[in-house]
Structure 1
């Protein structure tokens, strides 16, 4: 269903209930492990998750790695980090 190496590759599907009806046709949330090898970054004005990902990973599409390391940042609506000014977030190392 997902490409090999996708972060959703091992996520399980929703299964039918007792009546055999699938309540939700989709994939369950994937497990997120602890972030290792992190850098602490203090949010400054103008910081965005995609820009931080470009700076730290040289790939702006890896913003989700930062979200994984910071469970209090939950949705892409937090892509703009204005509400987090002065807060410290974790930037995880990319697992090899």
Structure 2
């Protein structure tokens, strides 16, 4: 069950095959559109996705929004950006 404001609420569920077997009891990956209204941020030593989210959105739990705008950063397992120092990443506009 997903919360009404979950970012996965519109993701499709896996469908059963001809035998009625469902390959995975979950949702398919959600569609991530292009980031709009973005700022460019040059990664500094010590930057982490959660710390950037706290700075830009006043909520460290919104780190996934930065990851969505920068899919080349990886899977989100690693919040630290030490390997990206000096690179420019996109910070999407905070939702109003």
Indicate whether the TM-score tops 0.5: yes
> CA shift at 1:81, angstroms?
0.4
Q: Are 1:16 and 2:24 counterparts?
A: no
Structure 1, 48-57 or 14-23: larger mean CA deviation: 14-23
Name stretches of at least 5 consecutive residues in structure 2 with no aligned partner: none
Mapping for residues 30-45 of structure 1, pairs under 5 Å: 30-45=30-45
> CA shift at 1:73, angstroms?
1.7
Counterpart for residue 71 of structure 1: 71
Instruction: Give the distance between the partners of 2:95 and 2:57, measured in 1 at CA.
Output: 11
> CA shift at 1:94, angstroms?
2.2
Instruction: Give the distance between the partners of 1:32 and 1:50, measured in 2 at CA.
Output: 19
Instruction: Give the distance between the partners of 2:23 and 2:53, measured in 1 at CA.
Output: 35
1:66-85 per-residue CA deviation (whole Å, 9 max, x = no partner) reads 01101112312231101111
Q: Give the aligned length.
A: 96
Deviation beyond 4 Å, 4+ runs, structure 1: none
Instruction: Give the distance between the partners of 1:77 and 1:43, measured in 2 at CA.
Output: 18
